[in-house]
């Protein structure tokens, strides 16, 4: 007797009429017309069943704090960092946890069941670290949280005396304390250090720290419009030197948007060779970059199709929701994919499907998620969308009809349907329409 049987699903790889059998929290069979009794049956009716959405880049310690203590008037990255610095001294562990848990509810409802969140360690109290480690434990039955020890003020630039004259710990010592407490990944922000040389040095020491501890690395890297911000080159070098292939991620990489094409033609193969992953954050990049341009204004997102074509694993992250850097968002990775598609002009059928992969299977690979996917043996985690395929899911930012975690329905929503009343007659429409020939 199965716990759950999903019938008549379309899968992201294009297979149709597929049943998914679930027992003991795992997928046990994926095939057409499975004949078995099940305690619960979900008729997918030809709609898309996908592995859960995964966010490879987020800031859960700051989420839902929009307006505290004030709104970012200029809308720039640097005012956002300054604003976060104003908020930090008045934060409490309880308030951080309460906001994070509220966001996790949103995420689960959106079928977003794994999030890599950076957590600021430039705080002698490590409040956010303690709060998010607690949140990670509390949400573990429903959502995988992976924490990155992120020195927001720069691992070398941070000055402990400024924040707390009684605390003399350096950012590196605080970062190591966070790792000792159970934070999973080593972070960094080389472009925010005082000099290019300090930025390169921060990349070296943080990669060596990760290698010594057997951890992954994910750095905010070159989140700048300066085409000469080239810390990604150093990150690729140390990844290769230390044998960290596949375990290191460069987040943002927005300077690559502004780089000279000749240099980019050298850099991208080096990134691919080193096995460094890339994360673009389309909503935030299009909002924060190019702020000092007049016209034309640069889009500022990294070179997503070119990186993908070179074989680099590329994911789209949400980065921010209602925080000092971004006032909007609701945990909808289809909104993220849709913005990424537009900004990168990835409009072919294959490119649009690649944008869907950039919020599902690619970030799952970057996080190193165990048992992710729709195959026998994988965790029974998946989402039924009100869409017939991955492209339609992005087009409609499709309703999550059912979200399943370990074989249990953890969220559901009624189909989005509008009722028209025209010429005195009522009829319902749902906006589903596959284009001919696709």
Residues that are catalytic: 223
Q: What phi and psi, each to the nearest 5 degrees, are found at residue 193? A: -70, 170
Interacting residue with Fe ion among 144, 225, 319, 323 (CB under 5 A): 319
Instruction: Find the part of the chain contacting Fe ion (CB under 5 A) among 103-111, 119-127, 297-305, 318-326.
Output: 318-326
As measured in angstroms, the least distance from the Cβ of 317 to Fe ion is: 7
Closer to Fe ion by CB, 16 or 74: give it. Answer: 74
Closer to Fe ion by CB, 118 or 395: give it. Answer: 118
Instruction: Find the part of the chain contacting Fe ion (CB under 5 A) among 208-216, 317-325, 337-345, 425-433.
Output: 317-325
Six-digit token pair at 75?
A: 């809308």
Six-digit token pair at 143?
A: 């959502």
Closer to Fe ion by CB, 50 or 251: give it. Answer: 251
Pairing mode, strands 216-221 and 248-252: parallel
Taking CB under 5 A as the rule, which mask of x and - marks residues 374-413 in contact with Fe ion?
Answer: ----------------------------------------
Q: What phi and psi, each to the nearest 5 degrees, are found at residue 128? A: -65, -35
Closer to Fe ion by CB, 314 or 401: give it. Answer: 314
CA–CA separation, 97 vs 131, rounded Å? 5
- Which residue stretches of 275-410 are H helix? 282-288, 304-309, 333-343, 349-357, 361-367, 390-396
- Which residue stretches of 20-167 are H helix? 77-87, 93-109, 127-139, 160-163
Instruction: Find the part of the chain contacting Fe ion (CB under 5 A) among 33-41, 175-183, 204-212, 312-320.
Output: 312-320
Instruction: Find the part of the chain contacting Fe ion (CB under 5 A) among 89-97, 207-215, 267-275, 314-322.
Output: 314-322
As measured in angstroms, the least distance from the Cβ of 319 to Fe ion is: 5
H or E element at residue 28: strand 26-31
As measured in angstroms, the least distance from the Cβ of 257 to Fe ion is: 16
As measured in angstroms, the least distance from the Cβ of 217 to Fe ion is: 15
Closer to Fe ion by CB, 3 or 323: give it. Answer: 323
As measured in angstroms, the least distance from the Cβ of 395 to Fe ion is: 27
Nearest residue to the partner Fe ion, using Cβ: 319
Chain centroid to CA 36: 37
Q: Within 13 A of 305's CA, how many CA atoms are on the CB side?
A: 13
- Whether a cis peptide bond, with omega within 30° of 0, leads into 309 is no
Kindly list the residues in this chain that would bind Fe ion in the complex (CB under 5 A): 319
């Amino acid at each position: 007797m199965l716990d759950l049987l999903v019938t008549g699903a379309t899968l992201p790889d294009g297979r149709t009429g597929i049943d998914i059998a679930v027992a003991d929290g795992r997928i046990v069979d994926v095939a057409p017309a499975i004949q078995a009794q099940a305690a619960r049956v979900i008729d997918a009716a030809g709609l898309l069943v996908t592995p859960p959405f995964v966010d490879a880049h987020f800031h859960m310690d700051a989420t839902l704090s929009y307006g505290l203590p004030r709104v970012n008037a200029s809308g720039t990255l640097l005012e956002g960092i300054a604003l976060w610095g104003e908020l930090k001294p008045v934060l409490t562990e309880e308030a951080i946890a309460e906001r994070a848990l509220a966001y996790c509810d949103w995420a689960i409802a959106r079928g977003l069941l794994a999030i890599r969140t950076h957590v600021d360690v430039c705080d002698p109290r490590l409040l956010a670290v303690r709060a998010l480690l607690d949140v990670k434990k509390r949400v573990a039955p429903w959502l995988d949280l992976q924490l990155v020890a992120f020195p927001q003020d720069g691992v070398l630039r941070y000055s402990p005396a400024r924040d707390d004259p009684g605390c003399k710990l350096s950012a590196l010592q605080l970062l190591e304390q966070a790792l000792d407490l159970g934070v999973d990944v080593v972070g960094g922000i080389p472009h925010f250090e005082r000099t290019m040389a300090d930025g390169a040095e921060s990349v070296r020491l943080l990669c060596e720290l990760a290698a010594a501890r057997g951890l992954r690395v994910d750095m905010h890297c070159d989140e700048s419009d300066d085409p000469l911000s080239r810390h990604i080159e150093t990150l690729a070098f140390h990844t290769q030197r230390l044998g960290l292939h596949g375990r290191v991620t460069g987040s943002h990489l927005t300077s690559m948007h502004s780089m000279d094409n000749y240099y980019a033609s050298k850099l991208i193969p080096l990134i691919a060779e080193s096995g460094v992953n890339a994360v673009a954050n389309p909503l935030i990049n299009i909002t924060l970059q190019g702020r000092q341009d007049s016209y034309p204004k640069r889009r500022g997102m990294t070179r997503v199709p070119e990186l993908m074509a070179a074989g680099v694993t590329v994911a789209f992250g949400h980065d921010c929701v209602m925080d000092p850097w971004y006032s909007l968002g609701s945990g909808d990775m289809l909104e993220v994919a849709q913005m990424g598609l537009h900004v990168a002009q990835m409009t072919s059928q294959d490119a649009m499907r690649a944008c869907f992969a950039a919020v599902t299977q690619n970030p799952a690979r970057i996080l190193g998620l165990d048992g992710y996917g729709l195959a026998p043996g994988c965790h029974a985690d998946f989402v039924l969308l009100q869409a017939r395929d991955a492209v339609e899911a992005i087009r409609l930012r499709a309703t999550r009809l059912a979200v399943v975690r370990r074989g249990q329905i953890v969220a559901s929503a009624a189909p989005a349907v509008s009722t028209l009343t025209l010429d005195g007659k009522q009829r319902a429409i749902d906006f589903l329409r596959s284009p001919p020939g696709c």
